[in-house]
Each structure stands twice: as C-alpha cells, then as structure tokens.
Amino acid sequence: MSDSEEFKIDLAKKMDSTDPLSHFKGRFFTPGDSIYLNGNSLGLLSKDAATTLLRVLDEWKNLGVQGWGIGENPWFYQAEKLGEKAASLVGAKPEEVVATGTTTVNLHSLVSTFYQPTEEKNKILADELNFPTDIYALQSQVKLKKLDPAKHLKLVKSDDGKFLDESKIKRMITKDVALVILPSVLFRSGQLLDIESITENAHKKEILIGWDCSHSVGVVPHKFDDWGVDFAFWCSYKYLNAGPGASAFIYVNEKHFEKDAALTGWFGDVKEKQFEMNLNFEQSRSAGGWQISSPAILGSAALEGSLDLIIQAGIENIRDKSLKMTSYLIYLIDNLLTEEPYNFKLATPRLPNQRGGHIALEHEEATTIHEQLMEYNIIHDFRPPNFLRFTPSPLSNSYEDIWTLVDSLRIIIDEKNG
C-alpha cells in the first residue's frame, strides 16, 4: 500500500470515527460477512423492525381476531398510524399519508382517480427511464379510458440513456397533457429530479402531477405540502427497510380529499362506520379513502420499528450522511478507477442536489465484474447492459465499506491484467 492509499483508508476510518450516525450500523443484521451495498433494492432488517414484526406475531398468537380492536396497537388503525409516521419524512400532514397496497397497485388506484381525460387534455406525460412497471401500468390506464398508448402516453426521451433534461420535461408539459407521472430518482443512474420546480411548472399550466418516490423516501427528505405535489406513492422495502413486499404508501394532498377514489373498497370507508356493513360507501376524506382492502398487518409490521429508527436518526441527518458517502465514493472513483486500465465511468450526476442515494458505474465488462464482486461478498446490483449500482446506506454502512468496494474493484481489474 502506498502512502496515498493509506491516506484513503485512513480517511474512511476518520470519517467513521466522527460520524454521528455510525452507531446505527450495529442495529442492522448484515447477511453473512458481506459488505451490503444494495439498500436501494432491498434495505436490511434492523433489530427495531424485527421487534415490531415479532410483536405483531405475538398479538396474532395471543389475541386472534381481537387483535384488530384491542391491545396496545389495534390493527384497525395500523395503516393510518404508519402513515402518520411516514408523513414526517415527506413533509405532509398525518392524514395525507397512509400505508396501503403495493407500489404498482397504488399507481393504478391513484392514476385511475386523477387521470380524467377530456377532449382537449387527454395525455399522460411520463419518461422512458422510469421503472418499467410504472410504464406498463400507465399504458393500461390509457387503454382503460379507451385511448391509445402510442398517442396518449407521451414519454420524455433521454439523450444518453442515463439522464433526463429537466427543461425538456417542462417543455413537454403542454396543454394536451392531463396528468404527469415521474419518478423522483431514476432507478439506473440515480438522478434526482427537481420535484418542486417541475411540480410548479405543471401547475402553472393547470396540469396535475404525481410522483413515484420509491427510490427516494427514507434517504432524501421531501416537502410535498410546501411543493404542492398532487399525489405521490412509494414502496417501503428500499430505503425504508421494511422487508420484501412490505406495504407501500400513498400521499394525497388534502386539496384533493373531496375527489372520489376511482377504485373503492371497504377500508376506504369512514372508519367510524366501516363495520356498520351497509351498502352506502362513504369515503374517508383523507388519504385513507384510497385504501381498498384489509391492510396487510404482517406485511407492514416491520415498518413500524423501521420508521421509528429512521425518525430517530433524522431524515436530514440521513441525507447529509448519504451525500457525504456518495461524494466520498465519487472521489475514490475519480482518483482510482477512471483511468486505464480501470476504465469505470461514473453514471450518476456529480451535483449533490441532483443525486439520490445510490451511485451507478458503467463498465464494458460489467457482467464479469459483477460476478467477481459477488465472490468478494460485496452485495450490489447489476442492471443490463452495463450498469453496476452501489448504495451506501447511511444507517447500515460505514465509510470503510465504501473504501473496501473501491479497493476490490481495483484488485479485480489488476488481477485480470495479471
């Protein structure tokens, strides 16, 4: 190891030793002895989340059906209580957020409510870099209205397959658009869109806008109310660490509470009269009005502990550490991995306010490098054709993990060149 390399590992150790969030790492279970850098696909289990999950199992064991109504945490109110906790992460009022359904289903429910095409305004504007499930869902939503996705679903194109040009998005928000649906963070490159300014642009033209924040809630603070966002939805198994397939969330701005949900079910009923079981649906005038079925009590049990942990750490502190971590990773990439023979290319915006929580690297031999990194027990992901994604999670990773990643990438290339 040369002096400058020592400086780099020392720097990591120094940052860990002064990091106010470093003690949270011990509250997570890390699989095997791995370096886990895949929190943007599936966040890790914390002891806090395991505790609430096991508590709910006990409630089922000890209370049976009475768990809905009695005990310290009656299941009947779980979705709203989790909504209240999550509201503090996204700048919303408690009644504007509810834990319900799953991301794609929530997209369907919200878009079928908010997409009301007219003679003049009948298109949905989305983008070609969004997670494919969102686009599949939007295509079918357009078809449900007896319109043609080829004509009525406009997709903002990317020039390089990585980034979206925000001024182009704004130019494409034209009078014929009824609804805009965009992701907060692009899942490949990690580009964070300016939610506030794009929302403002859509509203100037009197167009509704909804955001898929699956790749940002839990690592980037949001201010939905201040920004006037119409609605949003997000999953909770990425940066919210609530477990595979955990209940997702919806946000509906209170200005829309009087709108009728397009897909109704008994859990959207006014809570006080839901169990009267008559045939007159009376929609709860809250985000809860968009619930359809019985909440997945077990599927959201881990969320409680996990949200408490995130709230305790503080979403602003989490963002602060996340940016320090991704900046450190970029610094190491620039210094150690971009030149011959390494040839990695940063595929994430350099400006901190344009980044979400992960870093993407491009490499011509990404497939083999991915396999070798897995042999080094560095858990990350590979997105064809040539993207490697790494998420240093502020609560469950250290700066030293980042150093180990970069050092391993370097060794992999060195060994290949023998």
Ligand X SMILES: *Cc1c(COP(=O)(O)O)cnc(C)c1O
Q: Return residues touching ligand X (CB under 6 A).
A: 102-104, 131, 133-134, 183, 187, 212, 214-215, 235
Query: Is 67 or 299 the residue whose CB approaches ligand X more closely?
Result: 299
- Strand pairing report for 345-346 and 249-252: unpaired
Q: Which amino acid is at 220?
A: V
CB of 104 to ligand X, least distance (A): 3
CB of 249 to ligand X, least distance (A): 11
Query: Is 104 or 327 the residue whose CB approaches ligand X more closely?
Result: 104
DSSP at 353:
G
Query: Is 141 or 214 the residue whose CB approaches ligand X more closely?
Result: 214
Query: Is 348 or 408 the residue whose CB approaches ligand X more closely?
Result: 348
What are the C-alpha distances in Å from 196 to residues 60, 200, 224, 227, 229?
43, 6, 8, 5, 8
CB of 359 to ligand X, least distance (A): 16
Task: Output the CA torsion sign for 284, 290, 295, 300.
Answer: negative
9 close to 332: Cβ distance less than 8 angstroms: no
CA 346 to chain centre: 21
Rounded CA-CA distance 324/335 in Å is 16
* Secondary-structure percent of the chain, ordered helix, strand, coil, rounded to 5: 45, 15, 40
Tokens 């034209």 belong to: 174
Query: Is 59 or 134 the residue whose CB approaches ligand X more closely?
Result: 134
CB of 258 to ligand X, least distance (A): 28
Burial class (CB in 10 A: 0-12, 13-18, 19+), 206: exposed
CB of 212 to ligand X, least distance (A): 4
CB of 41 to ligand X, least distance (A): 8
Query: Is 42 or 45 the residue whose CB approaches ligand X more closely?
Result: 42
286 close to 258: Cβ distance less than 8 angstroms: no
DSSP at 189:
T
Q: Which amino acid is at 54?
A: L
Q: Which amino acid is at 367?
A: T
CB of 138 to ligand X, least distance (A): 11
CB of 149 to ligand X, least distance (A): 18
Query: Is 114 or 403 the residue whose CB approaches ligand X more closely?
Result: 114
Rounded CA-CA distance 143/148 in Å is 6
Query: Is 133 or 197 the residue whose CB approaches ligand X more closely?
Result: 133
